[in-house]
Amino acid sequence: MILIILSLCGRPHREVPLERVTGLESKIMSTEPIPAPTAPRADDLLLPFEQQNFPTEYKEYYGLKRNNFFATIQKFRDQWNYYLMLDQIWMQEFRSLTPATDPNTIFPITIYMNAHLKVRVAIELAFGGILPEARSIMRDAVEYAAHAHHMLKDPALQELWLNKLDDQKAWEQEFWYNKPTQLFEGLPLLHEVWKQLSNMGSHANIVSMCERFHTIEVDGQTQFNVAYTGLDEKTWAIGLFDLLLHDFMVEEMLFKDYRTRLQFDEKLLKMRAKFEVYKEQLRRSIAARYSITPPAGPTIVHP
């Protein structure tokens, strides 16, 4: 007879003192192993307020999650740089679109801003080793971006979207049902990403929790562990890069939707060109680091 014991745990990605989070710039795009630094103290990870107000179990969880966040920035510095470069592009686009001049395109900008907000939350969760929830929120970001894109097709759709409570049936017909041919019309790849994120993040199924679920044998008994934060390195790195590519897909849609105005922002165009080169360098670096065979065909997406 096997006794099954359930326990909650976390997987420390790498224990890194706060003062050592930076300073690994020389290792960017490198496949060299990084030596393990000294384990951090509680004071390194938790603020005095948190130490005073969190119970012991929650302090352990919160400290581990924060440790993983800092450690991942250090270990995957190249992916962190990718994220920050793209985040700056987002912000430059919003600055270029403000103040808005076309009344028919003003409101969708706020929807894109909300998508960007969710991207930030999702990527922070991913760097903290909480991938399923990161995917769930990235799915929200993708959906918000799809809504913004769809509304730009016809200004009347913006009014319908804003008046959802007044005409729920009309709203559902336009934004809820038949997503491949309605909301994601002309965006088949984005729709596939949305479905993938739904299956691997939002929906309750074995796929969305298998990365954090593992078993161990303790004194002849099978113990089921659920890791609240942390994964094995390869899964973490590839899952994180996946989300960063989704971030780019959403940003690229914003750029294309507002290209008429954004094409005159020379600073933005230079930022995007520089980012495109870095993105493909990073793709090749990750493929080499984890022995991933790239798919056939071009990978660069030109604006």
Report whether pLDDT(300) > 70.
no
What does the longest C-alpha to C-alpha distance in the chain come to? 71
Q: What is the pTM of this model?
A: 0.83
* 56-110 pLDDT per residue, tens: 999 999 999 999 999 999 999 999 999 999 999 999 999 999 988 888 999 999 9
pLDDT of residue 20: 33
Q: Are 297 and 122 in contact (CB under 8 A)?
A: no
Report whether pLDDT(4) > 50.
no
Q: Are 75 and 14 in contact (CB under 8 A)?
A: yes
Which pLDDT band, with edges at 50, 70 and 90, does 35 fall under? low
What mean pLDDT is predicted for residues 260-288? 97
Cα angle for residues 156, 161, 166 (degrees, 5° grid) = 100
Q: How far is CA 86 from CA 129, 207, 239, 246, 250, in A?
A: 20, 29, 17, 11, 11
- The set of residues, in sequence order, having a beta carbon less than 8 Å from that of 220 and lying 6+ positions away, is none
pLDDT of residue 146: 97
**Cis omega (within 30 of 0) on the bond before 108?**
no
Question: What is the chain's mean pLDDT, rounded?
Answer: 86
How far does Cα 206 stand from its chain's mean position?
A: 21
Laid out side by side, the sheet with 4-9 consists of 4-9, 221-227, 213-218
pLDDT of residue 204: 85
* 224-254 pLDDT per residue, tens: 888 888 888 999 999 999 999 999 999 999 9
pLDDT of residue 218: 83
Domain ranges of the chain: 4-22+36-289
- DSSP code of residue 32: S
Give the percent of the chain with pLDDT over 90.
69
Per DSSP, the three-state class of 223 is strand
* 141-200 pLDDT per residue, tens: 999 999 999 999 999 999 999 999 999 999 999 999 999 999 999 999 999 999 999 999
Q: Check residues 212 and 128 and name the one with the higher pLDDT.
A: 128
Q: Are 162 and 171 in contact (CB under 8 A)?
A: no
- DSSP code of residue 275: H
* 114-134 pLDDT per residue, tens: 999 999 999 999 999 999 999
- The set of residues, in sequence order, having a beta carbon less than 8 Å from that of 128 and lying 6+ positions away, is 65, 66, 68, 69, 72, 229
